Amino acid sequence: MKRLVVIIALVSACILTGCGSSGTTTGSTVSTSTAVSDSATSAASSTTPATVAVAASATLVPTATPSPTPAPSPSPVTQNLQVIASGFGQNDNGQIGYAFIVKNPNSALGISNSQYQVAAYDSSGTVLKTDSNYINIIRPGETFGVGGQLFLDKGQKAAKIEVQVSTGTTGAMTDTTDLTTDKATYSADGYGDEQVSGVVNNPWKVDVKEVRVSAVTYDASGKINGGGFTFVDFVPAGGHAAATVQVTTSGKPAKVELYAVLTSLSNP
């Protein structure tokens, strides 16, 4: 009986020892397998985003740089009228004929309603007489002559004249169509009366009236030695009209010129 109990005890000890060894091996295997699987999954997850990021970067389109806005062109600077020559003649009766040449230096701007003043002085600098008027229009780049008269008191003698011009209203002007003159000639009678005659041409398709015509006379050296002016009642459309200007000079001129201009009474 005792022998049987001993055998049963040995068998039970053996069974218990075998079962413990088998449980430890199985648990170690499962744990190792799980770690490998997690590592592979993590590696796969980290690889996929890197590939997507490279592909997205390769398809970027550069942004165009905007063109700069050009600066506006500056407005032309207005230049004042310039008096480039002047002179006069005087007879024994105290009558003065003066003239001056004025230039518009602006290449694209016309100037209208410019005022001028002429003063005659004696040898001591005393003002003897003045005259003033308006130049209705001077076209871009134009050189224009203005003539006039002064009447001094008996015994007065002019030594010089002074011309001042105030630049009028400026404005862009592309049409340079204007009155013209030709056939200017000088003549004098036996009584001392002098005149310059010529023709005024009208380029427009309408009649123009009250045209102011100035005469400028020059001596042999090219200096202005007299002048005068008159009005022509009208010049027909596309036609011409004769003009005769009474002048006073300091001697027979070597050259004469006529200049015609519209006035505030003219049309157009």
Q: How do residues 43-95 score in pLDDT, each as one tens digit?
A: 344 444 444 444 444 555 566 677 777 776 666 688 999 999 999 999 999 99
For the chain, give the longest Cα–Cα distance: 193
Give dist(CA 102, CA 182) in Å, integer: 19
43 or 209, greater pLDDT: 209
pLDDT score recorded for residue 42: 43
- Is residue 103 within 8 A of residue 84, CB to CB? The reply is yes
pLDDT score recorded for residue 247: 98
Query: Taking the model in full, what pTM does it have?
Result: 0.72
Q: What is the mean pLDDT of residues 188-215?
A: 95
Q: What element of type H or E holds 32? A: helix 2-58
pLDDT score recorded for residue 98: 98
pLDDT at 41 over 50: no
Domain ranges of the chain: 82-261
C-alpha distances (whole Å) from 198 to each of 39, 231, 256 are: 116, 13, 10
Give dist(CA 262, CA 137) in Å, integer: 8
> Which residues have C-beta within 8 Å of that of residue 161, sequence separation ≥ 6?
86, 87, 88, 96, 98, 118, 119, 120, 121
Quote the mean pLDDT of the chain: 82
Pick the CATH number of 82-261 from 3.90.330.10, 2.60.40.10, 3.30.70.3270, 1.10.4160.10: 2.60.40.10
pLDDT at 228 over 90: yes
